[in-house]
A and B are shown apart, each in its own frame.
Chain A
Amino acid sequence: MKIIMSVNWFVKAMIFHLASIMLMISFPAHAENVVAGWIEKVSISDSHFEVHAKLDTGADSSSLNAIDYKITAQGSDQYISFDLTNKEGKTIHLKNKIVRWTSIKNKFGIVKERPVIQIPVCLGKVTRVVEVNLVDRSNYNYQMLIGRSFLIGSPNILIDSSNEYYHKPACSTQQP
Chain B
Amino acid sequence: MSDIITVGWREWFSFPELGLESIKAKVDTGARTSALHAFEVERYQQDGHDMVRFLMHPKQKNTSLVKECTAKIIEKRWVTDSGGHRERRYVIKTMVKLGEYKWPIELTLTNRDSMKFRMLLGRTAMTNIIVNPSASYLMGKPFKSKSIKTKRDI
A159-B130 in contact given A57-B28, A58-B28, A106-B83 (Cβ < 8 Å)? yes
Q: Which residues of A contact B130 (CB under 8 A)?
A: 35, 158-161
Q: How large is the interface on A (under 10, 10 to 19, 20 to 34, 35 or more residues)?
A: 20 to 34
Q: A161–B129 Cα gap in the complex (Å)? A: 7
Q: Does A103 sit within 8 A of B, measured CB to CB?
A: no
As a 0/1 sequence over residues 28 to 63 of chain A, the CB contacts with chain B under 8 angstroms (1 = contact) are: 000001010010000000000000001111110000
Give the CA-CA distance A108 to B84 in the complex, in Å: 12
Counting chain A CB atoms within 10 Å of each CB, which of B30, B114, B120 scores highest? B30
What 1/0 flags go to B48-90 for Cβ under 8 Å of A? 0000000000000000000000000000000001111100000
Determine if A57 and B6 form an interchain contact, defined as CB atoms under 8 angstroms apart.
no
A156 pairs with B132, CB closer than 8 A: yes
Contact among B120, B127, B134 for A58, CB-based, below 8 A: B120
Beta-carbon nearest neighbor of A148 in chain B: B133
Residues of the A chain whose Cβ atoms lie less than 8 Å from the Cβ of B133:
57, 148, 151-152, 156-159
Cα A156 to Cα B9 with chains together (Å): 13
Q: How far is the CB of B34 from chain A (nearest CB, A)?
A: 11
Bound-state Cα–Cα, A100 to B31, Å: 28
Is B1 part of the contact surface with A, judged by Cβ < 8 Å? no
- CB-contacts of A58-100 with B (<8 A): 58-59
CB-based contact B132/A161 at 8 Å: no
A172 part of interface (Cβ distance < 8 Å): no
Q: Which of B28, B115, B120, B134 contacts A151 (CB 8 A)?
A: B134
Chain A residues closer than 8 Å to B131, beta-carbon distance:
57, 158-159, 161
Contact (Cβ within 8 A) B9 A148: yes
Which A residues touch B2, using CB under 8 A?
A: none
Does A162 lie at the interface of the complex (its beta carbon under 8 Å from any beta carbon of B)?
A: yes
A sample of 11 more A-B contacts (CB under 8 A), given A57-B133, A158-B131, A161-B130, is: A54-B29, A56-B29, A57-B26, A58-B27, A59-B30, A106-B83, A148-B134, A158-B132, A159-B130, A161-B131, A162-B129
Taking Cβ atoms with an 8 Å cutoff, the residues of B that contact A are 6, 9, 26-31, 81-85, 114-115, 120, 123, 126-134
The interface of chain A, by Cβ under 8 A from chain B, is: 33, 35, 38, 54-59, 106-109, 139-140, 145, 148, 151-152, 156-162
